[in-house]
Amino acid sequence: MRVLIAGAGPAGSTAAWHLASRGAEVTVLEKTRFPREKVCGDGLTPRAVREMQLLGLPHGPEQGYRRTKGLKLIAAGRELELPWSSPDFPDYGLVRTRLGFDEQLAEHARAAGARILEGHSVSELLRDASGRVTGLAASVLDESGRRTGETREFEADVVLAADGNSTRTALAAGLEKRDDRPLGVAYRAYYTSPRTDDEWMEGWLELPDRQGNPLPGYGWIFGVGDGTVNVGLGILNSSRQFGKLDYRQVLREWTEAMPAEWTLDEEHRVGPVRGAALPMGFNRTPHVSPGLMLLGDAGGMVSPFNGEGISYAMESARYAADFVLRASEAAAGKTGHAALEAADAQLGQYAEYLRWQWGSHFTLGSVFAQLIGSPRVMRAALATGMPVPQLMRFVVRLMANLTTKDATGLEDRAIRLIERFTPRASTM
């Protein structure tokens, strides 16, 4: 089965590796050229590390990765250090800039046999007479990212949209984002700082607005290990002030209040402050339509709890690859309509599988996002939770989704019980 993937980020390259390493013919169209920068906190939770292990992706210090012990939470005048702890996931996280991480993933997929074409910007979908997606047209870009005037067409049995929040592929298919799902924004900058080798991923749960009320979001400080730290903030649209604040100014005022010895100031900032949208809670559906599947950010697969998207992008890619290969097996030996019907019966299960995996978790996250939009609720939650480390450990496991359907621990059973009575967010 010929597979065409739009985008060589974590979702696209992961899908390409899983498919190519199992014999599929895979082509990936990436509009930029590596190495390229992406707006991100650069933090990889144990959930993402598990996906890297499944890929066999080297991730030691010699590849530029720095291990983290867990989360350090700061709020309500307290600090809590909560080690990564789950029997079903690695006991460490990682930090590495997307500049290096995405390029390594793409090269890993290439080594497995995937064809990755950089400087190819998707411009339109190709369809057959029935409306089924049969491929993509792409504008060829030069080394500077400008259009050369050349357009190339690529045909495939199935197209995977893994081209991020601004997904041209899904938009070309008429799949608009849903306004009934949460949305966030993230802004981050790099600073040279003595905190570059911190072993904890630090989360600040109180970001005050100009009136001193907590904003619905959090700030982070992640040591990169190369002499810099990644400092940023994520804000949810559940606040009445969403879209009305200068988030670069919020970031600047927050960092200016930090201890001077951390050097999180304009003099030590490296590069510009950059921002991006965070598409959350399955905010673009359906995830499967004839000939097309949505992966990662293109399908709104960012957690409303904590803004984590890389692990869900990589997992969705692994799931999608499995269903594509099942579809190929189901269609083998058949021709014409019978082959398409057999393949589509398998591909169509991908959306329901995502809903079963994450639907309740994303619904809970959406409720959480609405609740913390109230400053009063936010203050009460922090005042109640921060003095109780055991409670916060449970909350972190719930928010970071560090459990599995088969886990038997007390916390795992409690999380499953909560999710059992929570409606699953739709993927259709």
Can you give the length of the chain in residues?
428
Question: Burial, 218: exposed, middle or buried (Cβ in 10 Å; 0-12, 13-18, 19+)?
Answer: buried
The confidence score (pLDDT) of residue 415 equals 84
Q: pLDDT tens digits, residue range 297-351?
A: 999 999 999 999 999 999 999 999 999 999 999 999 999 999 999 999 999 999 9
pLDDT digits (tens, 9 = 90+) for 165-175: 889 999 999 99
Residue with tokens 């900032």: 269
2-40+99-179+283-363 belongs to which CATH class?
A: alpha beta
Instruction: Please report, in angstroms and rounded to a whole number, the separation of the first and last CA atoms in the chain.
Output: 25
Least confident residue range of 50-54, 190-194, 279-283, 371-375:
371-375
Rounded Cα–Cα distance for residues 251 and 210 (Å): 12
Single-letter code of the amino acid located at 164: G
Q: Tell me the domain boundaries of the chain.
A: 2-40+99-179+283-363
Residue 204 three-state SS: strand
Residue 87 CB: number of other CB atoms within 10 A?
Answer: 12
pLDDT in tens, 132-184: 999 999 999 999 999 999 999 999 999 999 999 889 999 999 999 998 998 99
Positions of E strands within 266-364? 269-279, 288-289, 292-294
What pTM did the predictor assign?
0.95
Q: What does the alpha-carbon distance between residue 219 and residue 256 come to, in Å, rounded to a whole number? A: 13
Q: What whole-number distance in Å separates Cα of residue 402 and Cα of residue 311? A: 11
Q: How far apart are CA 416 and CA 398, in angstroms?
A: 10
Which two tokens mark 104? 């390594």
CA distance 152 to 246: 41
The amino acid that residue 118 corresponds to is E
Cα 273–276–280 angle (5° rounding)? 145
Smallest CA-to-CA distance from 41 within 185, 182, 161 is with 185
